[in-house]
Amino acid sequence: IAIERELREGNLEQELVLLFQPQYSPSKKRVISFEALARWHNPRLGLVSPNDFIRVAERSGFIQKVTAILFRKGLAELKKWPDDISLSFNLSARDISDQAFVLSLLAQIMKEEVSPSRLEFEITETAVMSDLATASTVLDRLRSSGCRVALDDFGSGYSSFEYLDQLPLDKVKIDRSFVRKVPHSIISREIVAAIIALCSKLNLRCVLEGVETQEEMAVLAGLEPDLIQGFLFGRPMSGEDAGQLIRDQQ
Ligand code: G
Ligand code: G
Ligand code: MN
Ligand code: NA
């Protein structure tokens, strides 16, 4: 209730911020993209996690406003970075159920004169479950405009291989719940290896999420994922710090 009230009355333009988490390419040995992660600093609620406010924003009809503000901020940051750095942006179920809204995001990309190839949209299975046909249409639209689409949290919850077949995808993000078990579980390691091999066969890039330790990295690098994202390579950071990280590796 409090969250909903603040979504209505708060100054979202000012209070919503994005952090950026590096995505590291083991083959290029450098960070080539960042995932944008929302944070909400509200004077009365304090720091609210996206886990808490995205759902409420979807229920109460504020999600498109929230997403539009965040996306504008993401584009502004991306424009400051070199052309070979890209940005992954999370879209919620409601966002992709509305074709007109998705077109408005594409219009923003054009207006800002950012190359669509530098943008990737992350969607979850829950976001596409209810209406696979609409989701497919919208994702096709994003891809035909030159943006990429990634399936987030793969392997968690109900995520199904059916989506790999039915959705127009460029990339799969293998969920942290698998990744964290890999150093201690031969079965988990084989599962992750099999998903990576499958992605390769299907011509999908894959990201290992949530790599935290050198121990995990030692085992996982051998599986040759396209990208690794996790605290080991960087926590979600300010745009300024992301810019510094980019400069430092050049
Ligand atoms: O960064 P953090 O671990 O707090 O993110 C928690 C969850 O919120 C993750 O599942 C992430 O995908 C989601 N999330 C983060 N930022 C956004 C956003 O801008 N939009 C949507 N829809 N989800 C987001
Ligand atoms: O659902 P999604 O993959 O979008 O969620 C991304 C979230 O995962 C972010 O909120 C980020 O803070 C969190 N995250 C990223 N890397 C790590 C990690 O190495 N360990 C843990 N515990 N969380 C991570
Ligand atoms: Mn994500
Ligand atoms: Na994830």
Choice from 41, 54, 97 to test ligand 1 binding pocket (greatest atom count within 8 A of CB):
54
**ipTM value:** 0.97
Taking the CB of residue 8, how many other CB atoms lie within 10 A of it? 11
CA distances from 50 to 56, 74, 108, 170 (A): 10, 16, 23, 25
Predicted pLDDT of residue 4:
97
Predicted pLDDT of residue 159:
67
Dist CA 250 CA 218 (whole Å): 25
- Ligand 2 lined by 90 (C-beta under 6 Å): yes
Beta bridge partners of 89: 36, 121
Instruction: Give the per-residue SS3 of 188-242.
Output: HHHHHHHHHHHHHHCCCEEEEECCCCHHHHHHHHCCCCCEEECCCCCCCECHHHH
Ligand 1 interacting residues, C-beta cut-off 6 A: 37-38, 49-51, 54, 70, 90-92, 236
Per-residue pLDDT of the chain (250 residues; tens, 9 = 90+): 799 999 999 999 999 999 999 999 999 999 999 999 999 999 999 999 999 999 999 999 999 999 999 999 999 999 999 999 999 999 999 999 999 999 999 999 999 999 999 999 999 988 888 888 899 999 999 999 999 999 999 988 776 788 898 899 999 999 999 889 998 999 999 999 999 999 999 999 999 999 999 999 999 988 999 999 999 999 999 999 999 999 999 8
Which residues have their alpha-adjacent CB atom under 5 A from ion ligand 3? 90, 122, 152
Dist CA 25 CA 81 (whole Å): 17
- Ligand 2 lined by 209 (C-beta under 6 Å): yes
**How many Å lie between the centroid of ligand 1 and the Cα of residue 89?**
9
Predicted pLDDT of residue 156:
81
139 and 96 in contact (C-beta within 8 Å)? Answer: yes
**How many Å lie between the centroid of ligand 3 and the Cα of residue 74?**
14
Classify residue 181 as exposed, middle or buried by CB count within 10 Å of its CB (0-12, 13-18, 19+): middle
Dist CA 242 CA 21 (whole Å): 8
**How many Å lie between the centroid of ligand 3 and the Cα of residue 242?**
17
For the chain, list the domains and their CATH numbers.
Answer: 2-248 (3.20.20.450)
Contacts of 59 (CB under 8 A, 6+ apart): 4
Closest by Cα among 232, 205, 202, 201 to 216: 232
